Amino acid sequence: MTITHNEGYTGKVAFVTGAANGIGRASARAFARKGASVAAGKMRLTTLVVALSVASNLTPAQASSEGTLNMKINITVSGKTVTAVVVDNPTAREFASRLPLKMSMEDLFGREKFAHLQEALSEKGPRTKTYQVGDIAYWSPTHDIAIYYRQDGESIPAPGVIPIARITGSTDVFNVPGSVKVSIEIAK
């Protein structure tokens, strides 16, 4: 299915009936690819999660992390700002409530920048052991926020990370050696 009358559906909700297969399933995927939150009828939850994860290039765990808050955050590094969309789970909501933050983020494995938070976040969000470039996640054992800028094919060790947000554009500002100074605030 091709959606042509509106190129962007970010912040919109598409309700699709008959989404278990055929045209309904194709419609749900097409709206998700264009940024819509999709509510689908007549579809098993596991089928919907897999369909939406494929359509939005997320892992099934990320797609099932209760959607998005439709809240955007700005992350500024070296005068360059990237935007991320906050996912809707208890951990992400608590993180957003602590903004704005300024921190120095260290490099780890040439794939992510991380920083320690002074206080732990809720661990009630869903966990995953995989990540995509652009994911922002919480590593609970040491109260770290991680921003993934390069895929190295490795999985995240137990207990996994809790998704917080997803960067909507390039992550190149993080792909530099060493640490970076970062400010994170709710987008206006």
Long-range contacts of 101-106 (CB under 8 A, 24+ apart): 101/183, 101/184, 101/185, 102/181, 102/182, 102/183, 102/184, 103/145, 103/181, 103/182, 103/184, 104/179, 104/180, 104/181, 104/182, 105/145, 105/147, 105/174, 105/179, 105/180, 105/181, 105/182, 106/178, 106/179
CA distances from 87 to 24, 108, 115, 154, 176 (A): 25, 23, 19, 23, 26
> Under a CB-based contact definition with an 8 Å cutoff, are residues 73 and 42 in contact?
no
| Phi, psi (deg, nearest 5) at residue 143 | 60, 50
- Residue 19: what pLDDT? 66
With a CB cutoff of 8 Å and minimum separation 6, the contacts of 97 are none
pTM of this prediction exceeds 0.75: no
- Residue 26: what pLDDT? 72
Q: Which residue type sits at 57?
A: N
- Residue 16: what pLDDT? 72
pLDDT averaged per 10 residues in sequence order, the chain, 188 residues: 54 70 71 72 50 49 51 95 96 95 97 97 96 97 98 95 96 96 95
Structural domains in the chain, CATH included, are: 13-56 (no CATH), 68-186 (2.40.100.20)
Q: Which residue has the tokens 């998005």?
A: 68
- Residue 46: what pLDDT? 44
| Separation between Cα atoms, residue 106 and residue 7, nearest integer Å | 37
